[in-house]
Chains A and B, each alone.
Chain A
Amino acid sequence: MSVLVRIPTPLRRFVDGNSILEARGKTVSQVLGDLSQRYPGVGERLYDGGSLRPFINIYLNNEDIRFLQGEGTAVKDGDVISIVPAIAGG
């Protein structure tokens, strides 16, 4: 599956300044893994010891993946994944 991933400002310096990228995988986790493999520096910012850092929210299309099946949520062609810093608002 090929999906689009929206890249937040803090990660753009690792992906040649891009704000959106294409990545492949069957699940959210695989897509993020694909990105991490292709762009050194991304993986260690997203993950801490194998688990997603607590202040990152991941959305599949318009839904927070915690309301779906988390990182195991399946993706399909044309889906959009957004990586969004969690600290905002209130």
Chain B
Amino acid sequence: MGYSTGLVCRVCGKRYEESPLYVCEDCFGPLEVTYDYEFLGRKFSPETISRGPKSMWRYWPLLPLQGEPKVGLEVGFTPLFHAKRLGDALGLKRLFIKNDAVNHPTLSFKDRVVAVSVSKAVEFGFDTVACASTGNLANSLAAQATAAGLRSLIFIPADIEEAKIVGTSVYGTEVVAVRGNYDQVNRLCSEVASQYQWAFVNINLRPYYSEGSKTFAFEIAEQLGWQCPDHIVIPVAGCSLLTKIWKGLTELEELGWIPKNKARLYAAQPSGCSPVATAVKNGWDTIKPVKPNTIAKSLAIGNPADGLFGLRAIRQSGGYAEDVSDREIIEGILLLAKTEGVFTETAGGVVVAATRKLVREGRIGKDDLTVLAITGNGLKTQDALVGATRRPSTIDPTLEDFVALEEQKERRQRENVSLG
């Protein structure tokens, strides 16, 4: 029943049948899923899509499954809302937040890619799924593999946030903490994947896995009334989300479901790991890998697999990139929380802080329709905020204690006014 027609090498164009294959056997280029757009376009329209389930599966004709999804039926269709107070703070009148911090079931955009890849793993007949992860993917794969009744094995860098480790182990998965950074974990997994017959969702199932990210773009377009925003600011680690947002919007344009893909895409990276932003700013055609050193651990990928394609998408779209310091990341998290009541993880702080820079540079105009990709939840990275939020005032359970506290506060305010 699916509309995907196989795989094609993004470098040399060689075609392959649908299978758990991810690298072109001729040139090592990445493989990508192809679709029969003409057939699909005759059978579906924005109207038919809008009548679908309130989840990412409303876009199933543009996802690479041959049957019904096996897991993650509730994933996606997360809120897109006008962020007026954050917009005021940044000087933007039409600022929107796409909030995957409340995605189901594990509070990040990774729920989308996992729902597709675990369903695909079942279609291919695998009984074990695995991944290399900085944390969010680990959480989601552990949860959805369990829900699908599959065994899961998850490889993480040993130094990621405790909340992300507990949020993986709780599902009963086998977690392997590797002494090394994500790029080393990833390389190890590539070698493990060639020796064991498992579905590594972001290695041998990567062509299918990454297609799930397109739904992030589809939802933005639909929730804006089937139109394309002027700008999208996207957190970048491996650069797969950015690349697939571009592919998703291009597909919608090709199908005639949005008037034009006019979105400028911006990569937001931490300065302690900014290989893509560095290449954009320097006008390079290659990505120079780096050794990550940042509090934004979910973005600590120094050797981004989709870096080259991301670079092309950014240039083609007329976008740019910005990188921000650890301090700016914290400020970004606090600004979003204090203006919109949304608590995002460090990657979201990177997006908010990078947007502030892009506005100051004049790249994003105040009347432009701008969307920030908030992809993860702050409850998972609370370690980063130690010392950054006010401690509660502790009192005895008496009215006198509370009144004394209030008077102390008023006194302080008066002093501040007279000092000011």
Contact = CB atoms under 8 A, between A and B. Distances in A.
Same complex: yes
Interface of A: 6, 8-10, 13, 19, 45, 48, 53-57, 59, 62, 64, 66-67, 82, 84-90
Interface in B196-211: 200, 202-203, 206
A90 B190 contact: no
A16 to B, nearest CB: 16
**What does DSSP make chain B's interface, helix, strand, loop or mixed?**
loop
Contacts of A56: 28
A64 B27 contact: no
Given A10-B28, A19-B195, A53-B28, A87 B305 contact: yes
Interface residues of B, number: 40
Contact of A88 (B11, B24, B25, B202): B202
Interface stretch (B100-108, B160-168, B179-187): B179-187
Contact of B187 (A9, A55, A59, A90): A59
A58 B206 CA distance: 21
A67 B184 CA distance: 13
B40 interface: no
13 contacts: A10-B23, A10-B24, A53-B27, A56-B28, A57-B187, A64-B303, A67-B291, A82-B187, A84-B190, A86-B305, A90-B202, A90-B237, A90-B305
Interface of B: 11, 22-30, 132, 182-184, 186-187, 189-191, 193-195, 200, 202-203, 206, 237-240, 286, 288-289, 291, 301, 303-306, 308
A85 B22 CA distance: 9
A87 B140 CA distance: 21
Contact of A84 (B22, B187, B239, B308): B187
Contact of A45 (B26, B200, B240): B26
